[in-house]
Amino acid sequence: MPLDKMTNTEDYAPTHKSVILHVKGKPVACIIDIENQYDNVHDNPSLRANLTGFLNKDEELGLFIGFQLKIKTNNQFFQFTVYPNDEFIETVIFDERIFIINEKMDSLFSLKINTDQFVKTKSEFDKFQKMIK
């Protein structure tokens, strides 16, 4: 989302932290959530999730990229606003999955990202990187 399309930048204040864990040598993109309210979410057939990337501007830090992950069921709504590092973004692009974990690093649940907008291979990613430079 371009900066000029943001109507209220306060809606994009960070709410959660991201971290990369390595499981069997493979990087895994995780969002740390303190509140564990997901007992009814994991196997709920009404689950819907939406991942929206955006740019934000800080007077001191300049431009940086973030995303909002919204998870909704018939009874619950969760929203995560995260400003991840480059390794997190690359992991999400290649793995197409985000894990929600608690502070003890226990996995609460994961979401598969289904989209044709992500780059599928390392060679495609390298080509994309050359195009944007």
> What is the token pair recorded at 9?
């930048």
**pLDDT on residue 99:** 92
Q: Which residue did the predictor score with more confidence, 10 or 5?
A: 10
Residue with tokens 């399309």: 5
Average pLDDT for the chain:
80
Q: Tell me how far apart the alpha carbons of residues 93 and 121 are, in angstroms, rounded to a whole number.
A: 9
For the chain, what is the domain count?
1
Q: Which of 20, 82, 73 is nearest to 51 (CA)?
A: 82
What is the rounded distance in angstroms from the CA atom of residue 111 to the CA atom of residue 114?
9
Domain that holds residue 33: 3-132
pLDDT of residue 63: 74
At 40-68, the pLDDT tens digits run 677 788 888 888 887 777 677 677 788 88
Using alpha carbons, select from 23, 25, 3, 30 the residue that is nearest to residue 85.
30
Q: Is the pLDDT of residue 115 over 90?
A: no
